[in-house]
Amino acid sequence: MTTPSSEAHEERGNELRFHFYELQFTPYKAVESTHSSVKITRDVLTFLSQELLAHKGYLVDRHEKRKGGDSRELFLSSAVILPKEQRILCSMALLRTGRAPKLKPVDKFLLIPITELGTPAEETHFYIDYSRSHAILCIEFNHYGPRASDIEFYFRNVAHDKLKLASATQLELFMDAPIAETLENLKNVLNLEVKMKPQSFTQLDKDLVGNYFTGFTTLAQRVKPKFIKLEASFQSQGGGIQSTGLNKEGTGMVRVLLERFIKSPYNIDCFDGFTVKYESTEGKEEVFNLLKGKKEVIKEIDLKKVKKKREVYDLVKSEIDEFISSL
């Protein structure tokens, strides 16, 4: 039996947040005439649902090739296919490593190691619509559970290593303020604010850490904070745009990060805050907020009272319908 930690439930509260993504599979040349991107999506989920029906599981360790450090083991914990709606209701589990939580019995004042019952895990709900040429995913944001990047990695592993259908995947986040638009309009960075959890640095691309966040990782290892914040200002104090000359280094850094968010969206999950104030090519002061720019659905529900996973899907079904119809 796997159970989310009480710590995670307390921090998540009753508010659930969902974001929209497009998932594309690139088929191998040998199967491209018979397998479109969405067909691979269906085949992957059919395989995984059959495994679940047979009381089996397909476990993938995202950190298997890393030397040292904690593992990041994932498995699909549920998959319900709705043929009429052309949707698949899913949840994915992340097995916890390191310090395990404990349980207090209702009638006793003592703590029981949860490992006596099974391996502690965190679960993320997500829903796949396959009515279009590419699958659209509505994914719950659960900091402690599997992220969108974990889901992409897991499906890529099944499609590539197990089923031999796809050579690559691409996950694109839908945003109200497209990153590409910000890149096009960006002339000069005036102010940058970044907020990250120390453990997020292990999931960020290594070259980004080496080029820009080495000091962050050193600080995190030495003093072990819950969050690390950076604010860098490139303008004079006072109202309006008062920067003198172009800030080539700071602007270059932001460009690299934004381009990487487009190329490898899983890096977005590493940031708990990323806000850029910049001068546009038209000479106006603009603000780009990476997290607030996501197309988001927010719902209130007490997860402790949820008896069926379908209850969570029913909360967001109308929003998913509306989003899909807008495409």
Q: How far is CA 235 from CA 109, 205, 287, in A?
A: 57, 29, 14
What pLDDT was estimated at residue 202? 82
Instruction: Determine the Cα–Cα distance for residues 159 and 255; give it in Å rounded to an integer.
Output: 32
What pLDDT was estimated at residue 99? 62
| Number of neighbouring beta carbons within 10 Å of residue 233 | 14
For residue 77 the two structure tokens come to 């914990």
For residue 283 the two structure tokens come to 């000479």
Say what the pTM is: 0.75
Cβ(285)–Cβ(187) below 8 Å: no
Dihedral sign (CA 260, 262, 264, 270):
positive
Straight-line distance from the first to the last Cα atom of the chain, in angstroms, rounded to the nearest whole number: 40
The amino acid that residue 17 corresponds to is R
What pLDDT was estimated at residue 8? 44
3-state secondary structure of 288: strand
> Under 8 Å CB-to-CB from 38, ≥6 apart: which residues?
130, 132, 133, 134, 135
What pLDDT was estimated at residue 40? 97
What pLDDT was estimated at residue 237? 54
Instruction: Determine the Cα–Cα distance for residues 147 and 139; give it in Å rounded to an integer.
Output: 8
What pLDDT was estimated at residue 90? 97
202 burial type by CB count under 10 A (0-12 exposed, 13-18 middle, 19+ buried): middle
What tens-digit pLDDT sequence spans the chain (327 residues)? 333 333 444 444 588 999 999 999 999 999 999 999 999 999 999 999 999 999 888 999 998 887 766 788 999 999 999 999 999 999 999 987 666 667 777 787 677 776 666 677 889 999 999 999 999 999 999 888 999 999 999 999 999 999 999 999 999 888 877 788 899 999 999 999 999 988 888 888 989 999 998 888 888 888 889 899 989 988 755 555 555 567 889 999 999 999 999 888 888 888 989 999 999 999 999 999 988 778 889 998 887 788 888 999 999 999 999 999 998
